[in-house]
Amino acid sequence: MVTVYNTTRYNRKYALFSGSLAFVAGWAIIAVLTPDGSFTGIPRWKSSLWLYLGAHGVPLSDIYLGGTGFNSTQPLSLIDSQIPFRYVPPLAVAGAAIYTNTKFSSPKIKRSVSKTLDAGSAYFLAALVAMVASDIQPGISMILLIAGGVAGAAWVGSSFLSTITRNIPFIGVTSLGTILGLGFLFVVGSAAVLTMLWQLVAIAFGTAAVTGAVAGVERKARRDGKRISDEWPRTALLKQELKKNWIELVVIAGVFALLYAGVTGAV
C-alpha cells in the first residue's frame, strides 16, 4: 500500500479561512435551530448569535432583560429547548482543524498542533468580532473596540514610520499619562474579559490543539508503523508500544481510577 502525502507548502491563509468559516457555519446551524421568539424584540440574527456565543460560555448582560447591566445570564438558560447547542462549537473548531491538517503532511506532532492552533486563533478572533457586533456584553465590547483600535493604530503608525526610520521599530505615543491610562484599562479589562471568555478560549484553542495532536500522532504512527508492517502500520505500532509500555499504562490507569473513585465517593 502506497501512502500519498500532501507536499504542498503550508499557507496560513487556509487556517485563517477555515477557522473564520467554521464560526460562521456553527452560527448558521444555531440560527436554523433557534426557536422562534427566543428574545422578544430582538432581531433573529442577534438572538441566534447570542445563543451561539452562549454555547461558548459567554454570558448575556442583564441590561437586555431589564437589569442594571452589572449582572449576566447564560442565554441558553432563557430558552426552552433540548437541542444540544454546546456540541456545535467543538465540532466546528475540530472541522476547521481537520481541514487545516489536510493542507500539510508533516509527521511532527509539534508542527501539527502549531498549524491547527492557527485555525483556533482565527475562530477565536471571529468570536470576538461577533461579541462586538451583537453587543452581548456592552462593557466588554467597548474594551475590545479600544484594544483593537489601539493595536490597529500602533500597527499602522509603526508601518508608516518604519519607512522614515529605515525599519527601526517605532510606536508613537502622546504622553506618559496616555500610556498609564491605557495600561490600567487593559489590565482591568483583560481580567474581566478572561473571566467571561475562559470557556471560549478553551474551546477554540483546546479543541484545535487536541485535534492537531491526534492528527500528528496518527501521521507519526503511520510512518513509524510502516517499518513493521506495510499492510497495517498503525495496528502494528500500537501492538509494539503496548508490549513495551504495558506496566506504565497499567499504573497510570490505576492512579486515575483511584483518583476518580476518591473524588466521586465511589469507594
Instruction: Return the pLDDT at 35.
Output: 80
The pLDDT of residue 56: 92
At 39 the pLDDT is 80
Question: Which residues in the chain come in under a pLDDT of 70?
Answer: 1-11, 66-70, 81-82, 105-107, 147-193, 222-234, 236-238, 241-242, 265-267
Amino acid at 101: N
What pLDDT shows up at residue 225?
Answer: 60
For residue 89, give Cα distances in angstroms to 22, 199, 204: 9, 11, 8
**pLDDT on residue 213:** 86
pLDDT reported for residue 265: 67
pLDDT at 171: 47
**What's the whole-model pTM score?**
0.73
